Structure 1
Amino acid sequence: MNSKLHINREIESYLIFTNPTFTIHTEIPNRNQVLLPTELHKIPKLFKNYKTHENKSILNKIKTLQQDFSQIYPKSLIPFTKITPGLRCPHCRKVGHIHIDERMRHGQCMYCSTTTTRQSLYLENLKELYVLKNEPFTLKEAEAWCGGNRWAIRKICNKHFKKEGRHTFHYYL
């Protein structure tokens, strides 16, 4: 029962991720309370009653409590220029602890000793660059961010990101 809203039913809340580029890296706590973007088709099955009038009144009561979080959590918490570039370990999330030998296909984190392929390491860090910058990035910015082999970075950008712009003014989305 929800006494605050004067509803005589058990209310379950669900967290829905609507960002199409969302990637989860860990186990999902309370898995029965989380819907991923690929599971949105399950929403109608969550509601199993046929009391439409009562459901509308409950919906209206819940909507009155809806809050706009865009003011609480601004789009950019830290200016991009103040963020230190460098490869971040996908396992321990530490910056600057990855050692990549020029001829090796794998890099090793000196902090947690995790070995990661160079390609996946660059890809994860370039995705992070795009999110942190909050706009398309150039190849020079990608090279400065990752600080690695420019040809490997170019290949990953061309393969995994949408390339736009003209001849020398390419940027990646």
Structure 2
Amino acid sequence: MKNLLIFSDKDEVLQLLRTQMVQTLVHMSNVKTMVIDSENTLSSYQDQVRTYISGDNQIEQFSEMVMAEIERRQQEDVSDSFIIMIDQLDTFIKASGIKEEDFKTIYEKAPKVGIQLILCTPYSYVMSYDQIPKFIKSNAKQAIVAMRKLTKLFMRNRIKQMNHY
């Protein structure tokens, strides 16, 4: 399994994608699931997933917890499926204080031991010049992208064409 990036330029669309992804995770009874909800937008699902993390104290411990799980899985040769969904990656990065090197290590090693990350974030964060989004852009192999097909420029040109008739 590989990590999955989910992003959109519209908050409403991103919320729909997040909700659909959590609903899918809820129905995966044979998979351990964890939802990290730094903005409490998915709190209605906290009793339905195996682990729900929200609040700064819990989020700050994320990198230590996942690094320990990766190490345990490597030592015990465990590779059962474990999906960690991080909602609002931009807010999570700030709240957790995760170091760039720790994030890269988790991102690269987790899939090798059966841990898949699902990273949900706004388009603006994915396209930012921060080091973590740049790393994700260059290493993401799977993504769900929900963007508007038409741009303002396209619409302006189309309107101009229509006015010539």
State the TM bucket, normalised to the shorter chain: under 0.3
Q: Which structure would you say has the larger RCO, counting Cα contacts within 8 Å and 6 or more residues apart?
A: 2
The answer to which structure has the higher strand fraction is 2
- What is the TM-score normalised by the length of structure 1? 0.26
Higher Cα Rg, which structure = 1
When you count helix as a share of all residues, which structure comes out higher? 2
Give the structure-2-normalised TM-score: 0.27
